[in-house]
């Protein structure tokens, strides 16, 4: 199939949408729903299976660096390269192999400057060029990767628009509260508006993050509510969910390791009698709940990729895949 090209004048921005069919954005209009944790786990799990993956932290807090354990190291540029790529056309220079096969474009304080720098150009004849800036930056490196994941920020409309303009697929984590639903509705509205700039953007899936394992009825009710909110088929809600596990969330930040990496350390935990006697002082202790959380993320990743593959085939058959 021939490449689909969108050209915008003043300034001239040409996006080859065929190059960006493997770009996912993890987003929700509300913060604290697991976007960063989800983005990091999906990226690392796919990379661990041998695919080349790029993870982009479009967040001024730079939490990906914390989750992956390289915060405040020599490679953590706090988003300086991402800022330069989006605002000045400098080529993206990801940190290579933060995990095997996983490259990362860090976020941080410099990312917060993107909005300030680009906002002045909004509403002018350069409007489209501004919104397509991240897409333009990614298309130059996209062929090096089989999967690209963008961790989007909450409550920063311009940065979220940049992410949506660069992505093919949108994945929405949410909790079972009303504010998460409101955030989903806001994001759905943003997606509809962004299609003027990115005509191939697809809301792929919604899933529940940090839910009790026995809260089956609550998740079932939420599935029905999401269908009502979006006016869409309820199959947007995935069967997979990530369980509530505060100890694992703490350990991820404390050790800079993901759930499946923490799982590998469980056999090395000191015995309960060693802890009771005080002979295990200084030993690393990780929550045993890391194992089921790792399984949750593995199931989630498999379901997302399977759904994207089916949707891609459907779009190809309908002639709407670039």
CATH number at residue 60: 3.40.50.300
Examine residue 266 and state whether it is found in any structural domain, yes or no.
Answer: no
How do residues 39-65 score in pLDDT, each as one tens digit? 999 999 999 999 999 999 999 999 999
How do residues 11-48 score in pLDDT, each as one tens digit? 468 999 999 999 999 999 889 999 999 999 999 999 99
Examine residue 315 and state whether it is found in any structural domain, yes or no.
Answer: no
Contact 189, 203 (CB under 8 A): no
How do residues 137-170 score in pLDDT, each as one tens digit? 999 999 999 999 999 998 899 999 999 999 999 9
Residue with tokens 């997606």: 191
Q: What was the pLDDT predicted at 119?
A: 87
Mean pLDDT for all residues in the chain: 92
Examine residue 105 and state whether it is found in any structural domain, yes or no.
Answer: yes
Examine residue 220 and state whether it is found in any structural domain, yes or no.
Answer: yes
Average pLDDT for runs of 10 along the chain of length 322 = 44 87 96 97 99 98 98 98 97 99 98 92 68 97 99 92 98 95 94 95 97 97 93 83 98 98 92 69 86 99 98 97 96
CA 104, CA 151: separation in Å to the nearest integer? Answer: 11
Q: CB under 8 Å to 263, separation ≥6 — which residues?
A: 290, 291, 294
Q: What was the pLDDT predicted at 101?
A: 99
Beta-bridge partner residues of 23: 148
Q: What was the pLDDT predicted at 283?
A: 73
CA 82, CA 86: separation in Å to the nearest integer? Answer: 6
Name the pTM for this structure.
0.93
Examine residue 270 and state whether it is found in any structural domain, yes or no.
Answer: no
Domain span at 96? 17-246
Examine residue 260 and state whether it is found in any structural domain, yes or no.
Answer: no
Q: What was the pLDDT predicted at 120?
A: 80
Examine residue 319 and state whether it is found in any structural domain, yes or no.
Answer: no
Q: CB under 8 Å to 119, separation ≥6 — which residues?
A: 158
Q: Is the dihedral of CA 224, 180, 249, 257 positive or negative?
A: positive
Q: What was the pLDDT predicted at 212?
A: 97
Examine residue 301 and state whether it is found in any structural domain, yes or no.
Answer: no
Q: What was the pLDDT predicted at 17?
A: 98
Q: What was the pLDDT predicted at 10?
A: 44
User: Considering its fold, how many domains does the chain have in total?
Assistant: 1
Strands 13-16 and 5-8: antiparallel
């Amino acid at each position: 199939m021939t490449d689909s090209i969108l050209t915008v004048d003043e300034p001239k921005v040409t996006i080859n949408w065929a190059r960006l069919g493997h770009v996912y954005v993890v987003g929700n209009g509300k913060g604290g729903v697991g976007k960063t944790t989800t983005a990091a786990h999906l990226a690392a799990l796919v990379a661990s299976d041998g695919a080349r993956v790029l993870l982009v932290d479009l967040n001024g807090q730079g939490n990906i660096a914390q989750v992956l354990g390289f915060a405040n190291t020599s490679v953590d540029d706090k988003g300086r390269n991402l800022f330069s790529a989006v605002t000045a056309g400098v080529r993206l220079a990801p940190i290579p192999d933060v995990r095997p096969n996983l490259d990362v474009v860090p976020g941080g304080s410099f990312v917060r400057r993107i909005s300030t720098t680009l906002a002045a150009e909004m509403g002018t004849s350069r409007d489209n060029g501004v919104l397509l800036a991240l897409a333009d930056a990614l298309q130059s490196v996209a062929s090096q990767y089989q999967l690209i994941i963008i961790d989007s920020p909450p409550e920063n409309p311009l940065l979220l628009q940049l992410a949506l303009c660069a992505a093919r697929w949108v994945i929405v984590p949410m909790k079972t509260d009303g504010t998460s639903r409101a955030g989903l509705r806001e994001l759905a509205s943003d997606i509809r508006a962004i299609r003027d700039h990115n005509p191939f953007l697809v809301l792929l899936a919604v899933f529940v993050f940090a839910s009790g394992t026995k809260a089956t009825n609550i998740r079932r009710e939420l599935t029905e509510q999401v269908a009502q909110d979006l006016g869409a088929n309820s199959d947007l809600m995935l069967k997979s969910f990530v369980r509530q596990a505060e100890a694992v969330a703490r350990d991820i930040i404390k050790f800079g390791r993901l759930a499946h990496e923490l799982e590998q350390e469980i056999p090395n935990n000191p015995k309960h009698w060693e802890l009771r006697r005080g002979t295990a002082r200084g030993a690393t202790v990780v929550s045993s709940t890391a194992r089921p959380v790792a399984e949750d993320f593995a199931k989630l990743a498999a379901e997302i990729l399977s759904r994207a593959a089916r949707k891609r085939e459907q779009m190809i058959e309908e002639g709407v895949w670039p």
